[in-house]
Amino acid sequence: MPEQLDLELLLRVPYVDPDLGFDISLSGSKVAFSWNLSGRWEIYILDLEGNATPQQVTVGEGAKFAPRWSPNGQQLAYTIDLDGSENYDIFILNLATGEHLNLTTNTPDAIMPAYAWSPDGEWIAFCSDRAGRFDTYVMPSTGGQARKVLYQPHPDYEVHWSPDGSMLAVVVEGQGQDYWIYLVPLEGGEPYPIAIDGESICAKDACWAPDGKSLAFASNFNGQFEIGIYQLASDSISWLTDGEGEKERPDWSDDGLLVYAVRHGPKTKLAFMDIATRNASTFQIEPGVIFTPKFTPTNGQIIFVFDNPRHPDDLWSYSLSDRTYKQITHSLPDTVDRSTLSMPGEIRYPSLDGTEVPALLYRTSEPGDLPPAVLYIHGGPNWLTQITWDPLIHSTWSVGAGWCWPRIIAVPLGTGESGNWLAVSILVV
């Protein structure tokens, strides 16, 4: 019988925020990230060029997320959710003086935490619903009046400033579950979407090339998510990737490389490509999930968040020179034995109409007799659950009578088509 794991202990295991992002300074020497190491979400800074301990730079009320370095590295923007309502405020931290400035004080509107500095550091672009729908605004980075720059019928989601400062790429929520990318000229001209034959295509994960002449993005236009390159001058798209796996979250290096995540069902791999030759390589620590890989500007590393059932979300680095990886934050306490945390196997089982349904199976080293089952129901039908950190799974698994099935099993209803699946987990206890 496996060693029993304490649920309260597991639920208190900290982790680096994987969703709202970390940021690397333009010097390439520091990374800023959100971490609940103390039990509260605070912003930390870590020196990438040494073995220094992460430095906490925020305190006080509210959960702090989405740090963004100013171009000169002297300031750090971040967002605060004061009451759990996700009505974020944008703050600026002066790293020399320690002063924190609220740019959006006394604003009743909701602000998306996906915002951007202008390349000269004079402006902040953000998405707000202050006019009744999420539109895109720019405001001085010292505070002041915001100016609306994009107003179209769909809610704006995240914004990316071009390297030359002349344009914004704004990801918006399109029709159904699609995202679109609008290009917004800031020096005159009408905003326009990335489109094929005049029709907007599903596009997300916008990332400017270092020269600002093109934009990488992820799109399922060809049936699954692939990485495309949009050329501004020719208004044309070329597709960089094909083959198995959903490719998402591209990022450029200054020397012609592109990094992205490749998702194969419940797990992802790190991929990087020489754009000129289209040669690509993939890398995996072990089965798990990679979030938001980014190149450091100067020292040939890729920084990303990784997690799996025996690693809570942490920052990791990958060296392009010697093809090795390193964990650079450490969330799992020494009181938790990693060897007691089970990794699942991927299986398939037939539904009522014979459709093969993918699932993840957790088992102990000795199966033993088949115990009864508990259904662990989660959202669906198309909410993908992956090989990821989940304290509830571990605590239930650890008290099992020999082996168990705690993970996502999508149970088809009716026709068995993916749109009619009800997703559950079976925990055998």
3-state secondary structure labels for all residues of 34-101 = EECCCCCCEEEEEECCCCCCCEECCCCCCEEEEEEECCCCCEEEEEEECCCCCCCEEEEEECCCCCEE
Let me know: does 149 contact 111? Beta carbons within 8 Å.
Answer: no
pLDDT band with cut points at 50, 70 and 90 for residue 86: confident
Sign for the CA dihedral angle at 184, 189, 190, 195 comes to negative
The confidence score (pLDDT) of residue 428 equals 42
Distant-in-sequence, close-in-space partners of 398: CB < 8 Å, separation ≥ 6? 2, 3, 4, 5, 340
What single-letter amino acid sits at 165? G
The confidence score (pLDDT) of residue 214 equals 97
- Burial letters for 387-411: b for 16+ Cβ neighbours within 10 Å, e otherwise? bbbbbebbbbbbebebbbbbbbbbb
Q: Which two tokens mark 61? A: 């009320």
pLDDT band with cut points at 50, 70 and 90 for residue 318: very high
Let me know: does 123 contact 133? Beta carbons within 8 Å.
Answer: no
Q: Which two tokens mark 416? A: 């068995």
The confidence score (pLDDT) of residue 4 equals 61
Supply φ then ψ for residue 154, to 5 degrees.
-115, 150
Specify the long-range contacts of residues 229-234, CB closer than 8 Å, at least 24 apart: 229/275, 230/181, 230/194, 232/167, 232/183
Q: What is the pLDDT of residues 141-200, one digit of tens each?
A: 999 999 999 999 999 999 999 999 999 999 999 988 899 999 999 998 999 999 999 999
Q: What is the pLDDT of residues 355-392, one digit of tens each?
A: 887 777 776 555 556 655 555 555 555 567 789 998 87
Residue of 18, 57, 19, 10 whose CA lies nearest to 315:
18
Q: What is the pLDDT of residues 333-347, one digit of tens each?
A: 998 888 888 888 888
Average pLDDT of the chain? 87
| DSSP 8-state secondary structure symbol assigned to residue 344 | P
What mean pLDDT do residues 223-252 have? 96
Share of the chain above pLDDT 70, in %: 86
In whole angstroms, give the CA distance from residue 363 to residue 33: 34
Ordered by where they begin, the domains of the chain are 7-327 (2.120.10.30), 340-428 (no CATH)
Residue 347: helix, strand or coil by DSSP? strand
Let me know: does 179 contact 206? Beta carbons within 8 Å.
Answer: no
pTM of the predicted model over 0.85: yes
β-strand 279-283 against 289-295: which pairing, if any?
A: unpaired
